[in-house]
Amino acid sequence: MLPDEFATSQRLGKDEVSMLASKYGTPLFVFFEEELRRRVRMVREAFKWFSKGVSVAYSIKANFNPSILKVFISEGCHFDITSLGELYFYLRSGGDGGKVIYTSVSEEREELLEALRKGVRRFVVSSSNGLKNLRLAIEESGARPEVLLRVNPEVDVKASVKASHKFGALLEMEGEESAGRMIGLMRDWGLDFSGFHFHLGSQITDPSCFREALRKLASFSRDAGLDGFRVMDVGGGLPVFYDEKVPSLEDFSEAIREGFEPMVDEFGVEELVVESGRYLSAYAGSLITKVVNLKRERGKKLVFLDAGYHILLDAVLLDQAYPQYSFTEGGEEEIELFGKLCDSSDFFPISPASRLKGLEIGDYVVFENVGAYSLVFSLPFHCYPKPPVVMKTGDGEYRLIRKGEGLEELFEEEGGLL
């Protein structure tokens, strides 16, 4: 059994899986409302040492299912949003523009103007062209949003995905894309420069990079002669357990505290934003799959599931091993798990936390911790339509939160009726 933090608080049992599979078919994603709520509360609890104000922000990119957004909205989360499409989903799900942190990658003027018109009041800028576009959009809209500067602190990050120099201003005083110049421009243009943001990577395995990044930022702010700033937004990176032990939430909170607390007195920071997508949604999602074929070869059992990397892309992109389990007992043969795509890369690495035994055609295999960066990457490879998604609500009910796509719908989507 995994320690509480590294496991979902809810697990699908055998009868539940059979019932859900016969009702909705497989593959089937199942989300646990209670687990979504629990993770938000765990992050708040871990950062409660900063009594002035901690905002837990959910990064919609990890999973934009409207029912999931509604749960996070009702938990009072803030939202890290990167595109007008995400903003649309958030607002249509009942969100309020005042809780958005808009961090565009392309930073186009029309986009920023539209976000302002939709009520967004906090923007993160990452390039000098983006800053110019934001200024134009602000002038045109007449709004006065907060502007955070995204910086690239250039620290050593140990993570499965490291944020590259594509993002953020350099912590230097001179140069077109330097933080010093961009803060100067914000002042000259009368914008409300309210603080800093950085995102160091995803699935970070050593929290010390947060401490280093915050220290570098403090030293830059001192050199730049800043009297103060209100907001410090530390991007995602809180890791999820897949196949090896990761540092705990407390380890991250401690490293951030060591870097952040000295800034509070020196620069008068009033709000710490902790912005995660993966940590908040991953543990709340499971995927039910079925064994549809198998062969025995050189003492190994090669098991074919009715899933594939078209619905769990990180299995192939990042070689990510999700903890899997089955309900069968049986031989101790070594098992390899394959998907049903016509591609040799379509296999599922097995996590040391997996419990897979037996496995015959018709058995179910459940993948855990698949709630982030899974549904959002769904691809209709081989004309496989998107699977349905069910949520187990706080009352223990099962609610369909996304219909499985039919073949005719896919045909139409792909232009079949044009």
Ligand X SMILES: Cc1ncc(COP(=O)(O)O)c(C=O)c1O
Interface positions with ligand X (CB under 6 A) = 59, 61-62, 80, 103, 199, 202, 235-238, 275-279
Residue 92 class from Cβ within 10 Å (0-12 exposed, 13-18 middle, 19+ buried)?
Answer: exposed
Pick between residue 306 and residue 368 the one whose CB is nearest to ligand X.
Answer: 368
Q: Closest distance between ligand X and the C-beta of residue 394, in Å?
A: 24
> Residue 168 corresponds to which tokens in the numbers above?
């953020």
- Closer residue to ligand X in complex, CB, 26/104: 104
Q: What is the token pair recorded at 95?
A: 């969100």
- Rounded to whole angstroms, the Cα distance separating 18 from 364 reads 8
Query: Rounded to whole angstroms, how far apart are CA atoms 7 and 354?
Result: 12
CB of 162 to ligand X, least distance (A): 11
Side-chain-side CA neighbours of 182 within 13 Å: the count stands at 31
The three-state secondary structure class of 251 is helix
When CB distances to ligand X are compared, the closest residue is 236
103 versus 221: smaller Cβ distance to ligand X: 103
Q: Which residue number, 10 or 203, has a Cβ lying nearer to ligand X?
A: 203
Nearer to ligand X, 166 or 298 (CB): 166
Taken in order 18, 23, 25, 27, the sign of the CA dihedral is negative
Q: First vs last Cα of the chain: how many Å apart?
A: 53
Burial of 329 (0-12, 13-18, 19+ CB in 10 A): exposed
**How far apart, in whole angstroms, are the C-alpha atoms of residue 64 and residue 90?**
8
- Minimum separation from the CB atom of position 198 to ligand X (A): 8
Distances 20 to 168, 194, 389, 392 between C-alpha atoms, Å: 45, 48, 11, 11
In a 13 Å sphere around the CA of 218, the CA atoms on its Cβ side amount to 19
> From the CB of 313, what's the least distance to ligand X, in Å?
14
Taking the complex as a whole, the smallest distance from the CB of residue 206 to ligand X amounts, in Å, to 14
Please state whether beta strands 231-234 and 201-204 pair in parallel, antiparallel, or not at all (unpaired): unpaired
Smaller CB distance to ligand X: residue 282 or 294? 282
Question: Of the candidates 368, 379, 371, 364, which has an alpha carbon nearest to the alpha carbon of residue 313?
Answer: 379
Residue 61 or 122 with smaller CB distance to ligand X: 61
Smallest separation, CB 276 to ligand X (Å): 4
Residue (101 or 366) nearer to ligand X, CB = 101
CA distance 17 to 325: 12
Query: CB of residue 59 vs ligand X: minimum separation in angstroms?
Result: 4
How does strand 146-152 pair with strand 100-102? unpaired
Closest to ligand X by CB, 171 or 359:
171
- Considering beta carbons, is residue 276 or 286 the nearer one to ligand X? 276
**Least spacing, CB of residue 114 vs ligand X, in Å:** 19
Element (H, E) at 182: helix 179-188
CB 403 within 8 A of CB 23: no
CA gap 25, 18 in Å, rounded: 10
We find the least distance from the C-beta atom of residue 293 to ligand X, in angstroms, to be 34
Question: Minimum distance from CB of 275 to ligand X (Å)?
Answer: 4
Q: Which helix (H) or strand (E) holds 70?
A: helix 66-74
In this complex, which beta carbon is closest to ligand X, that of residue 276 or of residue 289? 276
Min separation Cβ 153 and ligand X, Å: 14
Paired tokens of 294: 């198998």
Q: Is the dihedral of CA 340, 281, 389, 31 positive or negative?
A: positive
